Chains A and B, each alone.
Chain A
Amino acid sequence: MGTLRFILVRLLNFVLVVWVGVTVVFVLMRLIPTDPIEALIGSMTSQGTIMSEAALDEMRRVLSDAFGLHGSIWEQYGRYLYRNFVSFDFGPSFSSFPTPVSELIGRAVPWTIGLLITSTVIGWVVGNVIGLLAGVYPNRRLSKAVEFVAIFVYPLPYYVLALGLSIVLSYTFRVFPLSAVVIGEPWTLQFVWNVIYNSTLPALSIVIGLMGWWVISVKALSSGVQEEEFVRFARLRGVAEHRVLTQYILRNTLLPQVTVLAIQIGLIFSGSILTEILFQYPGLGTLIFSAVVQGDYNLMMGVIQISIIAVAGAIFLVDLTYPFIDPRIRYR
């Protein structure tokens, strides 16, 4: 009973968070002084599309339909919520008409999730190991050097790392491709190899950025836990050093880490969007960028809604892990 209640409360919270998120986007769209329809038509005609007056009027009608701009503000809001929570139908994409937006998004999502999960896990594990060792042996020269490097790497935005990596590994030494081009039939050996080969640079730029953060924070956390009585007692009792490290110190740094992770998921997601754009990696970031370039409003809105759902969903999943990490947290 307790478990079910715990999950249900978190699930309700997830739905409410998504609701607030899409509502904020809705309000924001209405606050922008520019008329999105005229802006889009302007960008189309400036790109050389020639349309007659009748075609323009028709275009305005189609666009105001797509933007959900007819009816009162409450009717608009109602349709908007229906689209976001029930039908997930964001209409056809303008730039690759008549492919539905949901299909384009469906193709991009696995790429983004794959990139994010792989690089977050690698960055987290490596960052934890280095941070833990540096925190437990704070006076070694290597520990100080590691922290020094981390302090310089962490504040750098992913795109600076991406740029640096591509200058070194693509322009100077042609090890990795400048932009991702994946060929081959799905799930053949060639395809898998291609995916890994093309994803290495984007993943590496995210891994390095994340690692910097985890090294700094895990070092601070573990040197704090290290001072605690129970760690000294375990050492005096003759518990093996690797057990002290993993079972006594690492375990007690996990909870604050997970709390921070939950807050940062949105920021990590934003960073990966940019990395994708820079490497033309076929995920959500590149999709929203091409939507912006081509004035594909349906696609833009679709990607934003999916982003909100994805980030809120990830936070929801992280929330669910709390009781596993710290048994003191009961199902509340």
Chain B
Amino acid sequence: MMNVRLVLGLVILATFAVVGFILPGFAPEDPTAWQAIGRNRRPGLEHLLGTTSQGQDVFWLATWSVRNSLLLGITVGVAATVIGVLIGLAAGYIGGLFDRVVSFFTDSMIAIPLLPVLILVAAIMRGQLSLAVVAVVLVAFNWPFPARQVRSVALSLRERGFVHTAWMSGESRLRVIVWQFAPYLTSWALANLINTVLVALIFETSIAVIGLSSAGQTTLGTMLYWSLTFQAILAGRWWWYGTPVLAMVILFVGLFLTSSGLSQRSAAIRGRLVAQ
């Protein structure tokens, strides 16, 4: 059976990759520059999605925002998943006191509400906050989720017959992890990675919407922030606030479809293996 969620999600993500990484190169002028073109134009042939109150082309500004948002999300997703998987594997595999200390720390990190902390960092670094700093904070608070789950997977794998067999036949610890554990974890880790990209984007746009994200680099969140600040809703400039909102909605749904499609797929494969 075809995995509808996965296919649909991947199509959406591929579209966004094109919009974010290829299209910005074709922008006729720097889309972030203010007052480069006429202000508050309605969507039309000249400006596909109209222009903002600062005289920016909404369409090209959006491609630029998608690019920055995707870069941030992918960086955080990859870094947090790699760190989480390594820590979780180590805890589950080594076990004992090490496992207890690491698990306790992981659980505690999960209990820290990220948004207030992010707001605090943004407030103190006001003006100097860059997307890189946002990424570091997001990684610091998002690795515990994969770590927690990988640990429990590693715990159960350790007791499986084939791992014992590998062990008894004199395989080194590293080889057991790479050759016996990794195949089980990769598709799951991929699903988690996509999900972390989603969480990272939600948090970055969250602080952006209240005007606390990086002032210098435009993202989907800061684009929405400026439209709200310039009262685009009251003025009825739907193309300005509608574009980032619609882009976020489609991107977030695409990420969720991909991640849940991936976990459905790995569950289905596991089911087939058991049935055989």
Contact call B126/A270, Cβ cutoff below 8 A:
no
Counting chain A CB atoms within 10 Å of each CB, the highest count among B113, B120, B145 belongs to: B113
In the complex, which residue of chain B has the Cβ closest to the Cβ of A295?
A: B123
- How far is B255's CA from A165's CA once the two chains are assembled, in angstroms? 23
Residues of A within 8 A of B16 (CB): none
- Asked whether, in the complex, the Cβ of A25 is within 8 Å of the Cβ of B117, the reply is yes
User: Could you tell me the distance between the alpha carbons of A312 and B203 in the complex, rounded to whole angstroms?
Assistant: 20
Is B257 an interface residue when CB atoms closer than 8 A count as contact? yes
Chain A residues whose CB sits within 8 angstroms of the CB of B104 once the complex forms: 16, 20
Q: Specify which chain B residues have a CB less than 8 angstroms from the CB of A21 in the assembled complex.
A: 108, 111-112
**Beta-carbon contact of A20 and B245 below 8 Å:** no
Contact A311 B107 (CB under 8 A): no
B267 to chain A, nearest CB (A): 10
Shortest C-beta distance, B130 to chain A (Å), equals 11
Residue of B123, B125, B233 with highest tally of chain A CB at under 10 A: B123
Say whether, besides A163-B245, A266-B110, A308-B111, A155 and B124 are in contact (CB < 8 Å): no
Q: Place the interface of chain B in its size category.
A: 35 or more
Distance of A170 from chain B, by nearest CB (Å): 10
Q: Are A308 and B113 in contact (CB under 8 A)?
A: yes
Q: Is the interface of A mostly helix, strand, loop or mixed?
A: helix
Q: Is A24 an interface residue when CB atoms closer than 8 A count as contact?
A: yes
| B269 proximal to A (CB < 8 A) | no
Take A273-B115, A312-B111 as given contacts and tell me if A289 and B210 are in contact as well, using a CB distance cutoff of 8 Å.
Answer: yes
Asked whether, in the complex, the Cβ of B116 is within 8 Å of the Cβ of A171, the reply is no
Residue B166, interface by CB 8 Å: no
Q: Is A154 an interface residue (CB 8 A)?
A: yes
Q: How far is B255's CA from A43's CA once the two chains are assembled, in angstroms? A: 38
**11 CB-based A-B contacts, threshold 8 Å:** A21-B108, A25-B112, A29-B120, A32-B121, A32-B124, A160-B249, A270-B113, A271-B115, A273-B115, A288-B119, A292-B123
Known: A270-B116, A289-B119; 14 extra A-B contacts, CB below 8 A, are: A16-B104, A17-B107, A20-B108, A28-B137, A39-B125, A151-B5, A155-B198, A263-B110, A266-B112, A270-B115, A273-B119, A274-B206, A274-B209, A288-B116
